[in-house]
Structure 1
């Protein structure tokens, strides 16, 4: 006795689970569901079409995984997830992007796909692709391209920081990515930010601060300095050894739980040891950078003059 429609449907739904509930028409045909079967299921409102090549074996909203597979199938021509979408597929959190970013070889000319941003790139895609899951470029390549395709410079910096902070990529790996031409946009800025990350700045606030220091003509400070305190190691965001000046850049995590107590103990210890500690909150650095940098520059000049005298 052959397979019943119900049994076939259950088998196909099971096969679609690893793709987020969708299958390509090609895969459906391989599994014994030709175009006539698909048409009947769609008419019965059990399945739904999402383009020329993608079939959802349900009628609900597509998950992220399903959207990624749909984008790759609909674009075709060797398409791979790229940029922020490839980072999401690799596990990055903390950044929302409605569109799916897909890259194809620069000689391909796919038509527009709703909800998909198609990038034509000259770099070899196959050498950069990783799996399992939807085909996508490796995290280091995706990070650099996400930054170059960002809407703003600040968004570019954030998309460089998040993958490093979350352990998806090492800062030094970003330095070895093949850099595309200037037509990609903000290449110079991304190169500078990558250099900052490689130098030890692992938060958006520290990257901003490093840039502001350069603009003010301040010498490059030491970052992520480790000192010995009464309760163990103390980690300092920024310190100028020649001035005895410490700058702490506080994000939201510094206002949670016992973080305030730990911060106060650390700063009090530094003060009693002879350092001057300036504190800049991350929101303040974003909204009033000039005012804060005026204070840093004044403190640096006064301390270096005092030590010289």
Structure 2
């Protein structure tokens, strides 16, 4: 009786039981090459060619199985947690690896989070990853770690990442230059990755430093207001000593009455300040029609994107100055002297 019980207890599991996902005892036979591939490839497919070792173990692929595949050169170890399964991985595989290897609670942040959301037209020099300050973090080549006291809200679908509006603001704050900061904000809005209202709410409230600049850019891009641009242009115009333009200039064009942002009637020069909304939907078409109508009536039109007043004010004001000089009858003859209109 006792012998038969011991025999039953020592009876090996039925064939195929391991393939049903039950964990195999330590030291048991390894899976076949084809079975490893069958279990690992769906995981790697969902993670752009890579897999987390914990996910592989949950699928019944043991540490010994992983070592065998790595030794054979079919898989590649990319760190403590990341294994490359597919020979050809996508750029997003780097993002998965950065999150998995940086520490518990890690999530993409800044521009890297926006890249995971589909951002195009921007190539960062490092992957930004945030790890909560209370968690242990691991430095990784090509990854820029951030350790905030309170971690921002995370989007868990797909690669763990910071919410797009927060990511856009933080990406702009961490940018290498104001030009790069403005580009990040513009791309995030233009590509529909973040709602303007949420971006406005997330913008930093500060009166100095990069935060003040970012707040200004967010307002320019999201608000679509002309008045802010016109006030800034008036300030820059006065600093240059340029003449006062016509006030509340109104012109009648084939499509009806239009209000010109800045108009020097005596010089036949129009300056249009284009806010962020001028790049949306059919606005470029309407802008082109209006500019063409103005040109056909004898005026010249200079267009200044509102961002241009932030990033290249001197270059745009140089163009306005040249436009006024060319319109002046003595402008060509007085090159090299003080602009005839300055100080008027």
- What is the TM-score with the length of structure 1 in the denominator? 0.72
Aligned equivalent of 2:117, options 90, 94, 97: 90
Q: Residue in 1 aligned with 2:261?
A: 239
Correspondences of 1:30-69 after superposition (within 5 Å) = 30-60=58-88, 62-69=89-96
Deviations 1:11-38 (A, max 9, x none): 2112210101111111111111121111
Greater mean alpha carbon deviation, residues 20-29 or residues 284-293: 284-293
- Structure 1 192/297 Cα, relative in aligned 2: closer, same or farther at 3 Å? farther
- Structure 1 111/7 Cα, relative in aligned 2: closer, same or farther at 3 Å? closer
Task: Give the match's secondary structure for 1:186.
Answer: helix
How far does residue 54 in structure 1 lie from its aligned partner after superposition?
Answer: 0.5
Correspondences of 1:1-309 after superposition (within 5 Å) = 1-2=15-16, 3=19, 4-60=32-88, 62-125=89-152, 128-177=153-202, 179=204, 186-200=210-224, 214-217=235-238, 230=254, 239-240=261-262, 245-247=270-272, 263=288, 266-271=290-295, 277-279=301-303, 289-296=313-320
How far does residue 146 in structure 1 lie from its aligned partner after superposition?
Answer: 0.5
Q: Residue in 2 aligned with 1:307?
A: none
Task: Give the match's secondary structure for 1:71.
Answer: helix
Q: Residue in 1 aligned with 2:22?
A: none
CA radius of gyration, larger in = 2
Deviations 1:235-268 (A, max 9, x none): 99x823898943277xxxx9xxxx99x94x5323
How far does residue 123 in structure 1 lie from its aligned partner after superposition?
Answer: 3.7
In the alignment, the residues of structure 2 paired with residue 53 and residue 156 of structure 1 have an alpha-carbon distance, to the nearest angstrom, of 33
In the alignment, the residues of structure 2 paired with residue 235 and residue 146 of structure 1 have an alpha-carbon distance, to the nearest angstrom, of 38
- Number of matched pairs: 273
How far does residue 109 in structure 1 lie from its aligned partner after superposition?
Answer: 4.5
Deviations 1:47-98 (A, max 9, x none): 00111111111344x4222111111110122111111011111111111124
Task: Give the match's secondary structure for 1:176.
Answer: helix
Contact 2:203–2:215 (CA under 8 A) maintained in structure 1: no
Contact 1:144–1:174 (CA under 8 A) maintained in structure 2: yes
Greater mean alpha carbon deviation, residues 154-163 or residues 291-300: 291-300
